[in-house]
């Protein structure tokens, strides 16, 4: 009897013992799934009915896990969009916390300011130390309005100008410090063209004013002084004429330039042979009496097929090069104009060579700039405008070619350009 | 998460860096005003000095408040003490820039010998000194000290150059003296940059190198040879 009682007690104890163990495991599972945010997968019920309260727990957890998953997905999507927007921008973007520590930077900012390592968690001053930027941030931290600044940034000898726009982002929690959004735009090219335009306007008005003042002065004298001698008035009139011609040359050149810069349609390609155009170059040199056609030497490669280019503009370019040689080369025996087809016949190279004085090496880089002249006095005396070579450059570039110059003092100068024979214009 | 205290310390750092860059810009502007004979720029540089002075006052105010209310120790204390000293050095740089700007209007000389080069070196030295304040780099700090020797040599060359000018034509003496003083100012600016970098060295490593014999000029010169 006693044995039977002991047996029954053992069985009952064993049953409860197992149940406690199982409950323990389930609690661990529940805790685990709460921590991980997963849905709860209960093991098959162990000697327990479906009405066990853990079922309820399971349902709630599953619901929560689903909600969590949706939230995570939503937040991932938002982060992704945010990163895509900032990352896809052409401007550099950075986010700083109130301590000037970078908390986010897009790929452009990373590439421009810290190509060797990450920016996150480091101070902005480690990358950008321009006082303009620090001043801007200082102003913002004092509660002034977000604004813009420009600064130049030097890396490996290359100077880039940036425009920085700084905005204040409101913090997520009010207890946190402010967050700054910096946008950095490369405006080097804009600055450069702005300066070129300013220079151009200043130069053009200066160049135009000189002949106008002369004409005004001499004509006023002629009008107001009735007792002027015949010889003197002749000399005044010839000076007025000379300046009028100069004015015309300037205006013509300026018009050519503005036409070439103004639109894509400035070039009207027609099928022609370059050698034919060069042989007819005399036509374009008619109004230049100092050009001695005896001194022109042609060495032209015959082309079998015509190709599309703007004959008038190209003739103007070659005419300008020849004109320059006669104006500035000084003592030369001949101006040689040659053409040569490339081996694959895709390009034709034209060069204008003179064996005159040559151009000083440090002027070579700048002679294609508008209004740049090597010797101001001589250029004016010869009626040069300083625009000839920049017109040549424009014409050739509009055809898809480029102009080069080689020169040695005392030995001569060679200008050459190539034109693609496959139409690209 | 950043605490309020941390924010305060970082704020002090930001202010100091701004002050440093402003002073550096002033030096650059002052020498540019001299070389280009730009009196408007010289005036602007002189006005900028006030801004630097204001920042110094502001900085010393926040540092004193922090010291008295938080009683910082170790690295924080070193940072604050160094900040005080560096801000003073920067203020001195600002003063030198102001002096250069003032003298640039008085001289009629057009030849400045080594001064533009000195100014470039000084600009880089101050920049390097401030950059090691942001992120410490021992090698960079030491390179500042050796660069200073170069500046000393340039100053000596300027000295000789000015001497020959005066010997040739004593009437230009007053103009030449201005240039000589400018050269001296730039040399002082570089010394301040060295002092700043030594303070930062102490702040970052807690090794005092300010009067250490191995980093004295003579020793550095010997090492270079």
Q: Which domain holds residue B36?
A: 4-224
pLDDT exceeds cutoff 50 at B221: yes
Q: How many angstroms separate the CA atoms of B83 and B12, rounded?
A: 8
Query: Do the bridges between strand A347-354 and strand A412-420 make them parallel or antiparallel, or are there none, so unpaired?
Result: antiparallel
Is A141–B7 a contact, with Cβ atoms under 8 angstroms apart? no
The reply to whether B131 touches chain A by the CB within 8 Å rule is yes
Q: How many angstroms separate the CA atoms of A99 and B216, rounded?
A: 36
Is B135–A177 a contact, with Cβ atoms under 8 angstroms apart? no
Task: List CB contacts (< 8 A) between B11 and chain A.
Answer: 98-99, 141
Q: How many secondary structure helices (H) and strands (E) does chain B include?
A: 7, 0
Q: In angstroms, how far is CA A76 from the centroid of its own chain?
A: 34
pLDDT at site A77: 94
Considering CB atoms only, which of B7, B127, B134 is closest to A126?
B134
pLDDT at site A178: 77
Q: How many angstroms separate the CA atoms of B196 and B17, rounded?
A: 12
Contact present, A391 and A316 (Cβ < 8 Å): yes
pLDDT exceeds cutoff 50 at B1: no
pLDDT at site A385: 81
Is B134–A177 a contact, with Cβ atoms under 8 angstroms apart? no
pLDDT at site A425: 43
This prediction has a pTM of: 0.69
Task: List CB contacts (< 8 A) between A100 and chain B.
Answer: 10, 13-14
* Nearest alpha-carbon partner for A324 in A353, A297, A299: A353
Is A99–B10 a contact, with Cβ atoms under 8 angstroms apart? yes
Domain count, chain B: 1
Contacts 24+ apart (CB under 8 A), A381-385: A382/A290, A382/A327, A382/A328, A383/A245, A383/A246, A383/A249, A383/A327, A384/A327, A384/A328, A385/A207, A385/A246, A385/A249, A385/A250, A385/A253
Task: List CB contacts (< 8 A) between A122 and chain B.
Answer: 135
Q: Quick: pLDDT tens for B85-99.
A: 999 999 999 999 999
Is B127–A129 a contact, with Cβ atoms under 8 angstroms apart? yes
pLDDT at site B208: 87
- The least confident of A43-52, A151-160, A208-217, A339-348 is A43-52
What's the gap in Å between the CA of A410 and the closest CA on chain B?
Answer: 33
Quick one: CA dihedral A257, A358, A405, A337, positive or negative?
positive
Task: List CB contacts (< 8 A) between B25 and chain A.
Answer: 131
Is B18–A97 a contact, with Cβ atoms under 8 angstroms apart? no
Is residue A37 very low, low, confident or very high in pLDDT (cuts 50, 70, 90)?
low
Nearest CA in chain B to A127: B131
Contact present, A403 and A416 (Cβ < 8 Å): yes
Is A135–B22 a contact, with Cβ atoms under 8 angstroms apart? yes
Nearest CA in chain B to A128: B131
Question: How large is the average pLDDT for residues B92-109?
Answer: 91
Task: List CB contacts (< 8 A) between A97 and chain B.
Answer: 2
pLDDT at site A54: 67
Quick one: CA dihedral A228, A229, A231, A232, positive or negative?
negative
pLDDT at site B182: 93
Return the higher-pLDDT residue of A141 and B1: A141
Question: How large is the average pLDDT for residues A241-267?
Answer: 83
First to last CA, chain B: 50
Contact present, A23 and A50 (Cβ < 8 Å): no
Q: Quick: pLDDT tens for A348-391.
A: 899 999 988 888 888 888 888 888 888 877 777 777 788 889 88
Is residue A39 very low, low, confident or very high in pLDDT (cuts 50, 70, 90)?
low
What's the gap in Å between the CA of A124 and the closest CA on chain B?
Answer: 9
pLDDT exceeds cutoff 90 at B27: yes
pLDDT at site A43: 58
pLDDT at site A41: 63
The reply to whether B36 touches chain A by the CB within 8 Å rule is no
The reply to whether B24 touches chain A by the CB within 8 Å rule is yes
A37: Cβ–Cβ under 8 A, 6 or more apart, which residues? A64, A65, A68, A69
pLDDT at site B2: 43
CATH number at residue B22: 1.20.58.220
Is A134–B25 a contact, with Cβ atoms under 8 angstroms apart? no
Substitution target from A98, A123, A125 for chain B, most B beta carbons within 10 A = A125
Crossing angle of helices A131-141 and B4-36, rounded to 10°: 140
The reply to whether B106 touches chain A by the CB within 8 Å rule is no
Task: List CB contacts (< 8 A) between A138 and chain B.
Answer: 14-15, 18
Task: List CB contacts (< 8 A) between A129 and chain B.
Answer: 17, 21, 127, 130-131, 134
Contact present, B152 and B187 (Cβ < 8 Å): yes
Considering CB atoms only, which of A99, A130, A137 is closest to B7?
A99
Contact present, A58 and A85 (Cβ < 8 Å): no
- The least confident of A32-46, A214-228, A247-261, A407-421 is A32-46
Is A134–B10 a contact, with Cβ atoms under 8 angstroms apart? no
A-side interface with B, Cβ within 8 Å? Answer: 97-101, 122-123, 125-126, 129-131, 134-135, 137-138, 141, 177
Task: List CB contacts (< 8 A) between A175 and chain B.
Answer: none
Is residue B103 very low, low, confident or very high in pLDDT (cuts 50, 70, 90)?
very high
Is A125–B22 a contact, with Cβ atoms under 8 angstroms apart? no
Q: How many angstroms separate the CA atoms of A317 and A285, rounded?
A: 11
Considering CB atoms only, which of A97, A131, A138 is closest to B25?
A131
pLDDT at site A19: 79
pLDDT at site B50: 92
* Residue A174: other Cβ atoms inside 10 A: 6
Is residue A51 very low, low, confident or very high in pLDDT (cuts 50, 70, 90)?
low
The reply to whether B135 touches chain A by the CB within 8 Å rule is yes
CB pairs under 8 A between A and B: 54
Is residue B6 very low, low, confident or very high in pLDDT (cuts 50, 70, 90)?
low
Provide the mean pLDDT of chain B: 90
First to last CA, chain A: 115
Q: Quick: pLDDT tens for A208-244.
A: 888 899 999 999 998 998 888 888 889 999 989 988 9
Task: List CB contacts (< 8 A) between B2 and chain A.
Answer: 97-99, 177
Considering CB atoms only, which of B2, B14, B135 is closest to A122?
B135
pLDDT at site A176: 66
Q: How many angstroms separate the CA atoms of A215 and A227, rounded?
A: 20
Q: How many angstroms separate the CA atoms of B72 and B66, rounded?
A: 8
pLDDT exceeds cutoff 90 at A42: no
The reply to whether B48 touches chain A by the CB within 8 Å rule is no
pLDDT exceeds cutoff 50 at A308: yes
Task: List CB contacts (< 8 A) between B13 and chain A.
Answer: 100, 123
């Amino acid at each position: 009897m006693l044995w039977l009682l002991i047996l029954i007690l053992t069985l009952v104890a064993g049953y409860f013992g197992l149940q406690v163990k199982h409950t323990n495991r389930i609690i661990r599972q529940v805790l685990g799934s709460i921590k991980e945010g997963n849905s709860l997968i209960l093991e098959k019920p162990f000697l327990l009915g479906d009405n066990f309260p853990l079922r309820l727990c399971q349902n709630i957890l599953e619901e929560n896990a689903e909600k969590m998953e949706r939230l995570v997905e939503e937040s991932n999507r938002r982060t992704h969009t945010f990163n895509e927007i900032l990352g896809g921008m052409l401007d550099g973007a950075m986010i700083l916390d109130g301590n000037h520590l970078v908390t986010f930077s897009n790929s452009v900012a990373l590439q421009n300011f810290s190509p060797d390592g990450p920016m996150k968690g480091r101070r902005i001053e480690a990358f950008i130390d321009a006082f303009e930027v620090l001043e801007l941030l200082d102003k913002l931290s004092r509660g002034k309005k977000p604004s813009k600044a420009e600064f130049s940034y030097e890396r490996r000898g290359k100077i880039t100008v940036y425009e920085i726009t700084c905005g204040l982002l409101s913090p997520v929690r009010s207890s946190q410090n402010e967050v700054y959004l910096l946008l950095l735009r490369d405006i080097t090219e804009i600055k450069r063209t702005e300066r070129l335009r300013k220079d151009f306007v200043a130069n053009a008005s200066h160049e135009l004013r000189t002949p106008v003042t002369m004409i005004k002065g001499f004509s006023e004298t002629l009008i107001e002084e009735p007792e002027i001698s015949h010889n003197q008035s002749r000399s005044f009139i010839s000076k007025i004429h000379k300046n009028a011609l100069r004015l015309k040359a300037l205006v013509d050149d300026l018009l050519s330039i503005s036409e070439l810069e103004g639109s894509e349609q400035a070039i009207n390609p027609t099928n022609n042979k370059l050698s034919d155009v060069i042989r007819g170059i005399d036509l374009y040199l008619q109004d230049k009496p100092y050009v001695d056609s005896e001194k022109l030497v042609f060495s032209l490669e015959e082309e079998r097929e015509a190709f599309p280019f703007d004959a008038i503009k190209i003739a103007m370019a070659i005419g300008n090069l020849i004109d320059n040689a006669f104006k500035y080369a000084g003592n030369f025996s001949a101006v040689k104009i040659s053409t040569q087809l490339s081996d694959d016949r895709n390009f034709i190279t034209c060069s204008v060579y003179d064996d005159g004085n040559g151009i000083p090496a440090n002027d070579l880089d700048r002679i294609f700039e508008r209004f740049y002249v090597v010797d101001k006095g001589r250029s004016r005396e010869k009626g040069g405008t300083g625009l000839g070579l920049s017109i040549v450059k424009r014409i050739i570039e509009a055809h898809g070619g480029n102009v080069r110059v080689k020169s040695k003092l005392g030995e001569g100068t060679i200008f050459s350009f190539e034109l693609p024979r496959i139409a690209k214009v | 998460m950043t605490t309020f205290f941390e924010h305060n310390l970082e704020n002090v750092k930001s202010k100091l860096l701004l002050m440093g860059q402003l002073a550096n810009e002033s030096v650059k502007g002052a020498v540019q005003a001299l070389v280009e004979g730009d009196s408007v720029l010289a005036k602007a540089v002189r006005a900028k000095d006030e801004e630097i002075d204001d920042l110094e006052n502001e900085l010393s105010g926040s540092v004193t408040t922090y010291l008295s209310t938080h009683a910082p120790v170790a690295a924080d204390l070193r940072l604050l003490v160094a900040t005080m000293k560096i801000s003073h050095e920067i203020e001195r740089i600002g003063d030198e820039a102001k002096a250069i700007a003032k003298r640039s209007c008085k001289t009629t000389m057009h030849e400045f010998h080594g001064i533009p080069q000195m100014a470039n070196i000084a600009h880089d030295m101050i920049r390097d000194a401030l950059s090691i304040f942001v992120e410490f780099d021992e090698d960079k700090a030491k390179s500042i000290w050796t660069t200073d020797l170069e500046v000393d040599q340039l100053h000596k060359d300027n000295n000789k150059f000015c001497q020959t000018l005066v010997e040739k034509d004593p009437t230009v003496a007053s103009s030449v003296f201005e240039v000589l003083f400018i050269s001296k100012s730039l040399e002082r600016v570089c010394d301040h940059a060295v002092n700043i970098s030594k303070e930062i060295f102490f702040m970052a490593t807690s090794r005092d190198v300010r009067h250490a014999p191995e980093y004295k000029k003579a020793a550095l010169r010997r090492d270079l040879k």
